[in-house]
Amino acid sequence: MIPGEPAHWERGGHKVLATTRVLELREVSFRHPKRGTQKDFMVAHAPDWVNVVARTPDDRIILVRQFRFGSNALSLEVPGGVIEKGEDPVHAGVRELLEETGYGGGTARLLGSVLPNPAIMDNRCHIILVDGAVPSGPMNWDPDEEIEVSLATVAQALDWARTGKITHSLSVAALMLFEGVRRV
Amino acid sequence: MIPGEPAHWERGGHKVLATTRVLELREVSFRHPKRGTQKDFMVAHAPDWVNVVARTPDDRIILVRQFRFGSNALSLEVPGGVIEKGEDPVHAGVRELLEETGYGGGTARLLGSVLPNPAIMDNRCHIILVDGAVPSGPMNWDPDEEIEVSLATVAQALDWARTGKITHSLSVAALMLFEGVRRV
């Protein structure tokens, strides 16, 4: 009843449906390797993103709250943003943390990576752990950003990710990866 | 240094940039309530989705592995799909579980909801817990689906979500919500 390995479709060319600041919407041609059938699928092409779990020396998680245009609502999240072309993910995480919250310092490392949505997006989101972050400089927001910075205990942040106060799936995933290494 | 409540922009009209089977890409006009500035932001409009954490009577999690066109790779995930218009999320989860895996029965309830990406998408993903799922009928795949069904222990599934074998952020979030209720 359970079939074998699902086929890996062969990706062909694409045409661009729309280009925005955030992503390029593409119609990509795929061919099934066995059936030979050809079909177009939508793929949103975007740069990789970074999300940051940053912990202060007194074991608090740095959170940001901002208006989100997709959900049309305020959203409580871990800091994050877009990795610049050629930028190292850890560097991007440290940069975004400082820009959005003014926190820096400590040590930073890659905690893991997830796919925002492998069904329809081609990018990855790297999760960076910053340990020992302290207030380090002025914030530097993008023109449309207004960010409320707050601190939560680790237990609070994990609880909020599980009970719907933190709802951004990438923040939830970031906190889950963090919880995994925290217990080691 | 920390500012007050971030403003809730006022959403105006939109124009459609592209329409696909999966989503409608919109350029939405927003107005800042204090500054009065007007600006367009990209929003992907899509129906709500459902992801299913399904557990068998012997405490195994049902996983699916399938080719994903966004990542251009095979992906190990929890079952899930698109909620039909007017469909109850729990019903949709039970339906998708049966269609994709042939498993059904037991009890089903809403575990929680996350936002796939509040920055650029307007939909939600509901996480359904099905407890006591057993082989219940034939699978019923969409024409382009080929799905490999497998079972993992709860410890395995959670470990895989934390260590990069399960990378879809919505599956990672679903398993994190499940872990929260499991320990109660």
pLDDT digits (tens, 9 = 90+) for A126-165: 999 999 999 998 888 888 889 999 999 999 999 999 999 9
CA atoms of A111 and A177, how far apart (whole Å): 7
Domain range annotation of chain A = 10-45, 49-182
From B72, B74, B118, residue closest to A68, measured CB to CB = B118
Nearest to A82 by CA among A95, A73, A70: A95
pLDDT tier, B183 (very low <50, low <70, confident <90, very high otherwise): low
Residues 26-55 of A with CB under 8 A from B: 27-28, 30, 39, 41-44
CA atoms of B118 and A145, how far apart (whole Å): 14
Task: Chain B: give the shortest CA distance to residue A178, in Å.
Answer: 8
CA atoms of B161 and A180, how far apart (whole Å): 9
Neighbouring CB atoms inside 10 A of A33's CB total 10
Instruction: Quote the ipTM score.
Output: 0.95
Q: Which residue of B has its CA nearest to A150?
A: B2
CB-CB contact of A123 with A48 (8 Å)? yes
Q: Which residue of A has its CA nearest to B44?
A: A70
Domain spanning B49-182, CATH architecture? Alpha-Beta Complex (3.90)
Predicted local distance difference test score (pLDDT) of residue A1: 37
CA atoms of B83 and B57, how far apart (whole Å): 26
* Amino acid sitting at position A48: D
Lowest-confidence segment of A70-79, A118-127, A136-145 by average pLDDT: A136-145
Query: pLDDT tens across B26-65, in order?
Result: 999 999 999 889 999 999 999 999 999 999 999 999 999 9
Query: pLDDT tens across B77-90, in order?
Result: 999 999 999 999 99
Q: Collapse the DSSP code of B144 into the 3-class scheme (helix H, G, I; strand E, B; otherwise coil) and give the result.
A: coil
CA atoms of A113 and B172, how far apart (whole Å): 11
Using a CB–CB cutoff of 8 Å, tell me whether A12 touches chain B. Answer: no
Q: What pTM was estimated for this model as a whole?
A: 0.95
Residue B174 has pLDDT above 90, yes or no: yes
For residue B170, list chain A residues with Cβ-Cβ distance below 8 A: 117, 169
For residue B112, list chain A residues with Cβ-Cβ distance below 8 A: 162-164
Q: Which residue of B has its CA nearest to A42?
A: B20
Residue B121 has pLDDT above 80, yes or no: yes
pLDDT tier, B3 (very low <50, low <70, confident <90, very high otherwise): low
CA atoms of A120 and B44, how far apart (whole Å): 12
Task: Chain B: give the shortest CA distance to residue A113, in Å.
Answer: 7
Q: CA neighbours within 13 Å on the CB side: how many for A18?
A: 21
How many cross-chain Cβ pairs, A to B, lie less than 8 Å apart?
A: 217
CA atoms of B3 and B51, how far apart (whole Å): 37
Pairing state between β A134-135 and A103-104: antiparallel
Nearest to A66 by CA among B50, B35, B9, B6: B6
Q: Which residue of B has its CA nearest to A17?
A: B18
Q: Please give the mean pLDDT across all residues of chain B.
A: 95
Neighbouring CB atoms inside 10 A of A138's CB total 10
Nearest to A148 by CA among A74, A52, A69, A55: A74
Q: Which residue of B has its CA nearest to A114?
A: B167
Predicted local distance difference test score (pLDDT) of residue A3: 53
From A11, A18, A169, residue closest to B115, measured CB to CB = A169
CA atoms of B49 and B83, how far apart (whole Å): 5
* pLDDT higher at A114 or A182: A114
Among A63, A115, A158, A179, which would you mutate to test the B interface (most chain B Cβ atoms within 10 Å of its Cβ)? A115
**Gap between the terminal Cα atoms of chain A:** 39
